[in-house]
């Protein structure tokens, strides 16, 4: 049995921690990462074509799935420019349509211009980043980030802002 005093143990542990910090600081301890654009998501979301902006009518949501076939979403043209809106008029937004309270499906109310949950009556405002405005939910709707290709008028889903209900990661 070796005679290891508390002082020797702490000194050896401190030296190991310092060496590890130096290794990480030098970049040698980090895994090789692909270069990322500033502000880009770290998850490899697919770039998925959804629809043509010119074919959309105000207050008529179109269903789609993103980032996979189990994640139900809707894209909607609000008819007026909104924060985060895409398309020529900056009035197109998209959201996950699973309520952030218990995952119930949401429906769009054309009169109130909101997404509503029929289970526990939460209400979300698509014109304000999917903000929860009433009900049992405590989180805003996950927003599907869009890109608009002006050359061919295609809208693409490119990422999810927020966590889709019931998931630990948006990508399965």
- The yes-or-no answer on residue 129 being catalytic is no
- The 3-state DSSP class for residue 21 equals helix
Instruction: List the catalytic residue out of 63, 118, 120, 166.
Output: 120
Closest among 136, 137, 49, 134 to 94, alpha carbons compared: 49
- The yes-or-no answer on residue 101 being catalytic is yes
Instruction: List the catalytic residue out of 77, 101, 143, 148.
Output: 101
Alpha carbon distance 151, 50 (integer Å) = 15
Would you name the residues annotated as active-site residues?
Answer: 101, 120
């Amino acid at each position: 049995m070796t005679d290891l005093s508390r002082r020797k143990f702490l000194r050896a542990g401190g030296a190991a921690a310092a060496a590890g910090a130096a290794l990480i600081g030098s970049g040698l301890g980090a895994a090789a990462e692909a270069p990322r654009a500033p502000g880009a998501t770290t998850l490899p979301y697919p770039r998925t074509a959804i629809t043509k902006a010119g074919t959309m009518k105000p207050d008529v949501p179109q269903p789609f799935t993103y980032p996979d076939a189990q994640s139900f979403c809707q894209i909607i043209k609000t008819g007026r420019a909104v924060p985060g809106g895409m398309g020529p008029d900056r009035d197109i937004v998209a959201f996950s349509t699973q309520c952030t309270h218990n995952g119930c499906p949401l429906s769009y109310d054309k009169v109130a211009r909101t997404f509503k949950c029929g289970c526990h009556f939460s209400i979300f405002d698509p014109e304000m980043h999917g903000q929860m405005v009433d009900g049992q939910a405590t989180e805003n709707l996950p927003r599907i980030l869009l890109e608009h290709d002006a050359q061919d008028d295609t809208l693409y889903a490119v990422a999810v802002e927020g966590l889709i209900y019931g998931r630990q990661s948006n990508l399965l």
